[in-house]
C-alpha cells in the first residue's frame, strides 16, 4: 500500500464557530462500524482545521470515549439532563486531538435511556448551538425511538452498513423505520391515516401495504392534500450511505443495493453514496488494545478512504468554502 501524505491544516482559523452542521451516524445493525466511522469523520475534520464535537448518542451503551483513549469521564450527557451542568459546552471535553471535543454518553443512568420526546428535542436544540462547525452523533444500534429521533433531527443522515446480507437488511429496516417515524409524527394523530401507516409498517398483517406508492394512494383517497404532504416528507428525506469493512470489489455494491431498494419501496430519491471503507485489520487491533493509533496511522488501508470521505462531508455540509482540495499523494 502506498504511503499517504495527507494534507492537513491544523492552524486553520475558523471564521464561524457556531451553528454546526449536524451529522448523525446510524444503521440498524450492531457492530457495523458506526462508532469507528463517527470517530474517523470527527478526527479528520479536526485534522483539517474544523472545530468538531463528537457526541456519544448511544444511550444504551455509551463507550465511544474508550475508542479515543479516554478512560475517565468527569461529565456526561446525564449531568446536563439532570441539570447538574447548565451548559453543554461545559461537558464537551477536550480530547487528545486538537479541535476535537467530545460529549460522552450516559449509559450509567437508567432513566436517561428513555427521555421524553420534548426532552430529546431540547437536547438537540442545545447541541445545535454548540460552539463548533460540525457535530457528529454516534448513534446506537437498533430502531428505538431515541435513536430514530436523534437521526431525524440531524440535517445530514448517514447510514453505515457492511456487505453482509443481514447488515443490508438491517440498514434498509433502519431507513424504513426512520422514514415511518417521521411520517407517524406528522400524521399519526389522524385515525384514518394512522391505520394506513400501520398497514404499511406491518402492524396490520391482514391488509398489508407493500409500497410507498400504495400508501400515497391511500392518503390521497382520504384527502389529496395529505398525499401531497406525504410526498414532500419523502422528497425532503436525504440520506448518505457508507459501506464499511468491504473486502472485495463486489462488496462495494452494498450501498447501491440499499439505495435501489429504498427507491423501489420507499420512493426515496435523494440518497448519496458517500464511500466504501475497506476492512482494515489495524482498526481491529487498535480497538482491541483501546489504542486510537489507527487514526494517526496514515499508512493504514482505511486512512485514504476516510480522508476522501471527509472531503465529501465538507462539500456536502453548509461550509462549501472549506473544502480541502489537496488530495493525498501516493
Ligand atoms: N473498517 C474496518 N476494518 C476492520 N475492522 C473494523 C472496521 N470498522 C469497524 N471494525 C471493527 O468492528 C468493531 C465494531 O465497530 P463499531 O464499534 O464501530 O461498531 P458499531 O456499529 O458502532 O457497534 P454498536 O452498534 O455496538 O455501537 C470494531 O471494534 C472494530 O474492531
Ligand atoms: Mg457504536
Closest approach atom of ligand 1 to CA 278 = 1
Q: Is residue 207 part of a domain?
A: no
The residue whose C-alpha atom lies closest to atom 25 belonging to ligand 1 is 30
- List the end-to-end C-alpha distance of the chain, in Å, as a whole number: 9
pLDDT of residue 8: 54
- Whole-number Å distance between alpha carbons of 135 and 125: 12
The count of other CB atoms within 10 Å of the CB of residue 274 is 24
CA 283 – ligand 1 centroid, Å: 8
Ligand nearest to the CA of 286: 1
pLDDT of residue 110: 47
pLDDT of residue 84: 82
Q: Is residue 150 part of a domain?
A: yes
Ligand nearest to the CA of 32: 1
CA 232 – ligand 1 centroid, Å: 35
The residue whose C-alpha atom lies closest to atom 31 belonging to ligand 1 is 284
Q: What is the mean pLDDT of each run of 10 residues along the chain (330 residues)?
A: 46 59 92 94 92 89 81 81 83 91 73 72 90 94 91 96 95 96 94 95 88 96 97 96 93 92 96 94 84 70 88 77 40
The pick from 31, 59, 140 for probing ligand 1's pocket by mutation, whose C-beta has the most ligand atoms within 8 angstroms, reads: 31
Helices marked H in 188-302 — which ranges?
191-200, 212-222, 224-236, 254-266, 281-288, 293-296
Q: Give yes or no for a contact between 266 and 300, defined as CB atoms under 8 angstroms apart.
A: no
pLDDT of residue 326: 38
Query: What residues pair up with 160 in beta bridges, in sequence order?
Result: 242
Helical axes 165-187 vs 191-200, angle rounded to 10° = 180
CATH number where 130 lies: 3.40.50.300
E strands within the chain? 21-26, 52-57, 93-94, 100-103, 134-139, 156-161, 239-246, 271-278
Q: Is residue 307 part of a domain?
A: yes
CA 34 – ligand 1 centroid, Å: 7
Q: Is residue 161 part of a domain?
A: yes
Task: Give the residue numbers spanning the domain of 48.
Answer: 21-168+239-322
| Ion ligand 2 residue ranges (Cβ < 5 Å) | 34-35
Q: Is residue 152 part of a domain?
A: yes
Task: Measure CA 224 to chain center.
Answer: 33
CA 318 – ligand 1 centroid, Å: 28
Q: Is residue 315 part of a domain?
A: yes
Domains held by the chain: number:
1
pLDDT of residue 108: 55
Q: Is residue 3 part of a domain?
A: no
The residue whose C-alpha atom lies closest to atom 15 belonging to ligand 1 is 33
Q: Is residue 76 part of a domain?
A: yes
pLDDT of residue 1: 38
- Say what the pTM is: 0.90
Amino acid at each position: 500500500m502506498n504511503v499517504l501524505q495527507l494534507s492537513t491544516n491544523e492552524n486553520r482559523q475558523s471564521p464561524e464557530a457556531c451553528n454546526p452542521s449536524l451529522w448523525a451516524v446510524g444503521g440498524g445493525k450492531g457492530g457495523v462500524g458506526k462508532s469507528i466511522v463517527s470517530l474517523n469523520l470527527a478526527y479528520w475534520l479536526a485534522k483539517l482545521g474544523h472545530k468538531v464535537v463528537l457526541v456519544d448518542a448511544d444511550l444504551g451503551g455509551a463507550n465511544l470515549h474508550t475508542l479515543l483513549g479516554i478512560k475517565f469521564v468527569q461529565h456526561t450527557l446525564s449531568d446536563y439532563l439532570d441539570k447538574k451542568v447548565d451548559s453543554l459546552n461545559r461537558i464537551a471535553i477536550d480530547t487528545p486531538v486538537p479541535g476535537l471535543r467530545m460529549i460522552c454518553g450516559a449509559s450509567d443512568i437508567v432513566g436517561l435511556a428513555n427521555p421524553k420526546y420534548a426532552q430529546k428535542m431540547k437536547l438537540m436544540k442545545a447541541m445545535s448551538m454548540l460552539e463548533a462547525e460540525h457535530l457528529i452523533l454516534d448513534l446506537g444500534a437498533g430502531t428505538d425511538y431515541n435513536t430514530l429521533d436523534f437521526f431525524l433531527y440531524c440535517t445530514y443522515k448517514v447510514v453505515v452498513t457492511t456487505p453482509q446480507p443481514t447488515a443490508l437488511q438491517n440498514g434498509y429496516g433502519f431507513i424504513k423505520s426512520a422514514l415511518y417515524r417521521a411520517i407517524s409524527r406528522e400524521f399519526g394523530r389522524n385515525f384514518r391515516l394512522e391505520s394506513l401507516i400501520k398497514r404499511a409498517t406491518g402492524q396490520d398483517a391482514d391488509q398489508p401495504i407493500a409500497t410507498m406508492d400504495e400508501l400515497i394512494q391511500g392518503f390521497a383517497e382520504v384527502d389529496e392534500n395529505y398525499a401531497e404532504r406525504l410526498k414532500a416528507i419523502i422528497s425532503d428525506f436525504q440520506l448518505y450511505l457508507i459501506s464499511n469493512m468491504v473486502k472485495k470489489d463486489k462488496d462495494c455494491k452494498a450501498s447501491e443495493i440499499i439505495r435501489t431498494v429504498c427507491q423501489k419501496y420507499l420512493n426515496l430519491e435523494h440518497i448519496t453514496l458517500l464511500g466504501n471503507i475497506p476492512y482494515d485489520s489495524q482498526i481491529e487491533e487498535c480497538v482491541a488494545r483501546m489504542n486510537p493509533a489507527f487514526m494517526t496511522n496514515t499508512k493504514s488501508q482505511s486512512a485514504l478512504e476516510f480522508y476522501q470521505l471527509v472531503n465529501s462531508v465538507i462539500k456536502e455540509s453548509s461550509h462549501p468554502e472549506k473544502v480541502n482540495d489537496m488530495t493525498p499523494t501516493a
